[in-house]
Structure 1
């Protein structure tokens, strides 16, 4: 097996008590890597190193020098992207073609964030006293604790880490125990890029130990969490005890609203990719498809045809669109939700279990439900698998009402050629990110994040810079 170590204070180290755990390849079903199992002592060691680096190194004082390091890091990631993608695919079972695209996107975050930090303007508000001049500027927090999920760890880490580092913070990263190895591969590039020791630290282990210790550590000034809504609640509870701010991107139940004037070919292709990409294991999956009634049957037929053609197989095969489900526990959860959908009256139009003739025990076919109402469990709960529910609607107002009838608010999409309608509907949808004639697209310049049970705060863009900095007002009496 491959053997990894944690990265703390510029050095590769084992866990304090020498314990380790293994990563299981969802395709081969074999353990392929050994990873240190950290605990509270490892977290304290990493946070202490990050605190020293923040207080004693040049890192927080020199934005231009930081930018040079982050850009070198981006260059190194670019040349190492294939290796990182291969490792990430082995960890979580996602198709390598998809992982290549995700890892190829990482460098842009580490180029955009420093450009913003280097040029972000201060403000000079004018108060009531003409003899007082004030400057309001943004300063780093200090040590930021970042926890990332297993479905797209490298790219999702970059959304938090790039703006945090560019702003002058230092970080301690706790990757998911399901897929920690690509984060450790990224850490291999830190020293070569020129980061001072302690600016970037990675502690591996389990959420209930390492994650909890990171949340509770008194020197962690802010938390960033991407993961399940249940995990986000726990992080928020920890943060509330210390009055520490949090930014979190959590689960979703995104709706695609399809109008009769859409580009049908483009729309259907995106609808199917929207719930099958990453085998549906993505918080922004388009798991609810709302179709205007005159074209409902046509869209459904085309979706069923396209879903049947999705290639399921070896993640390393370039022709594969869907690999195995990442863990046995996640597979059991998907099966349970499908069974509940049937019990509540939904009709499975395709899929519902393993593909016909499949020999791999973790395969799950793209599954489309019809004859559903939005109050059913499969329309309200995040399944995190390749399952979608298709529903007709009659009016624009009805579509918006159904889309908003959820406790989540992460993302959504509108498919129409009517620009006025696109504006009306996107304004009415309660979600942090809404696309028009697109889905799951992003850019380091664009803010991302959710509302309601999908979290709060924003990553990337100017808003991401704001999240990783705090406002400081300097007021000077000149007379």
Structure 2
């Protein structure tokens, strides 16, 4: 059993942080490359961990396979649901600590981590606990001499790779439906934010799950992630992250034609018509790009405004940005709206795009530089008068940077919105009901928000079109993604 390290969090909480890999309900030492986890608000080192090697991934997958073929598959569905519900209760009990951990190594405000991420996380486990005994097959009537029925069965061992922008919530989105369907899991958290996932291992053991049902293997993406995605005894890979990495995951998963779910990048448009409630449009579109430091896959980072209200919108949007820019700082301060970018690499990447925007001829209305002397803070940045050929319009930045342009007609707005390789989300602001539904149908996106932005709910499917991914998460759609259909044909007659 590996040692844990005592960590004192900025809000005064102290806890024991596991430092190994969680396999077979035990923490064991990793044998892969070491990596360091930093506090992005201060740039200070939190902890150095030894990640999973390829051999460690083999151990975790073997543990998951034993559990799948053994005790986990023998449990009644009601008992499986009860264990998942127990996890929800333990997450709610430790909500403050888990939110604090996510704020510490991610940089998001504690208020958001506690009030949004952790609230959603234990509710996701509760939701799927209730589905464990409701995954049903069908009987199919074909004639008097034949009975046919379909079983919905688990896939087996599921490899899951989660991102750093919502560390614990993405864990919940992945693990809960997989377990409800009867699968076992090997989860790799992002190397920037592995701490809450490792702590979650304690809760799995405390809840009473059989060994091997949930395994957590932090490590480098090029080592642990690649080994998991290409492993011949893994039946499914579920990944959330960039489109470029998603493509690499898909190639690796072809090793044994794994079932895959990919939730990748986005460059989501936000269309604001001149009949919109302008104050509401400003509020929602601002949150749609600036919430969570712009580190959201569904961020409405391209705002298209009808020309008749363009200048007025820019004035109001810039004013709101200036007001909330005064609330950049310590993630644990109760009034903080914007924390730092997650890492030095992400900080440099976003600043690089800002410089590209300045060179491209876009009009800079606010921000455009780092904020403060310490930490990976970036000023919320507004570019206006952007065009579709600009890099800041075409590529996902994943930071607090928005590109605003104007349009004249409904057809032009739809064309601009769909002029992207991505298709994760889109937003439409209008008071005309017919227009809202008409435009929503024409947008090439897996999710459309009408008079809001960034909405999600654990009962509603989440996923995108085009380069934004394959498959859906949440709701019934996630159960479909973690099961497979088996047709059984029974001859009731005497014909040869």
What TM-score range do you get, normalising by the shorter chain?
Answer: over 0.9
Report what 1:327 is aligned to.
343
Report what 2:101 is aligned to.
87
2:30 is the alignment partner of 1:15: yes
2:166 is the alignment partner of 1:152: yes
Report what 2:471 is aligned to.
457
Query: Do the aligned residues in 1 keep the contact of 2:239 with 2:262 (CA within 8 Å)?
Result: yes
2:42 is the alignment partner of 1:25: no
Q: Deviations over 1:245-275 (max 9, x none)?
A: 2101001001111112222222211111111
Work out the CA distance in 1 between the residues paired with 2:423 and 2:446: 6
Query: Do the aligned residues in 1 keep the contact of 2:287 with 2:453 (CA within 8 Å)?
Result: no
Work out the CA distance in 2 between the residues paired with 1:422 and 1:478: 53
Work out the CA distance in 1 between the residues paired with 2:335 and 2:96: 17
Query: Do the aligned residues in 1 keep the contact of 2:422 with 2:466 (CA within 8 Å)?
Result: yes
The structural deviation recorded for 1:336 is 1.3
Report what 1:352 is aligned to.
368
> Map of 1:207-356 to 2, 5 A cutoff?
207-310=221-324, 311-355=327-371
Work out the CA distance in 1 between the residues paired with 2:354 and 2:42: 26
Query: Do the aligned residues in 1 keep the contact of 2:157 with 2:186 (CA within 8 Å)?
Result: yes
Work out the CA distance in 2 between the residues paired with 1:132 and 1:97: 59
Tell me the number of residue pairs that the alignment of Structure 1 and Structure 2 aligns: 475
Q: Deviations over 1:132-174 (max 9, x none)?
A: 1011121001000000001101111211211111000000000
The structural deviation recorded for 1:60 is 5.9
Work out the CA distance in 2 between the residues paired with 1:404 and 1:168: 39
Query: Do the aligned residues in 2 keep the contact of 1:144 with 1:222 (CA within 8 Å)?
Result: yes
> Map of 1:291-440 to 2, 5 A cutoff?
291-310=305-324, 311-355=327-371, 358-440=372-454
Distance 1:393 1:108, change over 3 A: same
Report what 2:11 is aligned to.
none
Query: Do the aligned residues in 2 keep the contact of 1:59 with 1:196 (CA within 8 Å)?
Result: no
Query: Do the aligned residues in 2 keep the contact of 1:60 with 1:140 (CA within 8 Å)?
Result: no
Distance 1:233 1:60, change over 3 A: farther
1:113 aligns with one of 104, 124, 128: 128
Moved over 3 A (4+): 58-61
SS at match of 1:189: helix
Q: Deviations over 1:50-81 (max 9, x none)?
A: 00000011446521111101011001101111
The structural deviation recorded for 1:361 is 4.7
Distance 1:49 1:138, change over 3 A: same
> Map of 1:170-181 to 2, 5 A cutoff?
170-181=184-195
**C-alpha RMSD of matched pairs (Å):** 1.4
Report what 2:12 is aligned to.
none
Work out the CA distance in 2 between the residues paired with 1:20 and 1:134: 54
The structural deviation recorded for 1:27 is 1.1
SS at match of 1:320: coil
Work out the CA distance in 2 between the residues paired with 1:93 and 1:376: 29
2:137 aligns with one of 100, 116, 122: 122
SS at match of 2:148: strand
Query: Do the aligned residues in 2 keep the contact of 1:7 with 1:202 (CA within 8 Å)?
Result: yes
Work out the CA distance in 2 between the residues paired with 1:58 and 1:284: 35
Query: Do the aligned residues in 1 keep the contact of 2:136 with 2:152 (CA within 8 Å)?
Result: no
Where does the alignment leave 5 or more consecutive residues of structure 1 unmatched? none
Query: Do the aligned residues in 2 keep the contact of 1:38 with 1:205 (CA within 8 Å)?
Result: yes
SS at match of 1:372: coil
Query: Do the aligned residues in 2 keep the contact of 1:117 with 1:465 (CA within 8 Å)?
Result: no
The structural deviation recorded for 1:411 is 0.6
2:491 is the alignment partner of 1:477: yes
Report what 2:146 is aligned to.
132
Query: Do the aligned residues in 1 keep the contact of 2:351 with 2:370 (CA within 8 Å)?
Result: no
TM-score normalised to the size of structure 2? 0.93
